[in-house]
Amino acid sequence: MPYVDPIAPADADGTLAREYEAALRRAGRIWNIVSIQSRTPEALKESMRMYVTLMHRPGALSRSLREMLAVVTSQTNDCHY
């Protein structure tokens, strides 16, 4: 399995620092799925924009159901992050 050396929050600046701050506000921590994208802050920014759009905006499914589907999908795909 490839290894990604994430940039630590203390070493982040610019876009990455802003994305880490947003992650902390959103979840109270920086999850691995966020930190592994730290080497490409613009991709992280767009990824989080898509995530927020899919998970936090009003829609036919409740947020809790969306989160449950994400967990089941990750487990099915054997994702450990």
Domain assignment present for residue 3? The answer is: no
Residue 1: inside a domain: no
In a domain, 32, yes or no: yes
Domain extent, residue 33, equals 9-76
The pLDDT, as a whole number, for residue 2 is 65
User: Could you count the other beta carbons within 10 Å of the beta carbon of residue 11?
Assistant: 10
Q: Collect the ranges in the chain with pLDDT lower than 70.
A: 1-2, 81
> Within a domain: residue 17?
yes
Domain total in the chain: 1
pLDDT for 50 = 94
Q: What is the pLDDT of residue 81?
A: 64
What does the pLDDT read at residue 1?
57
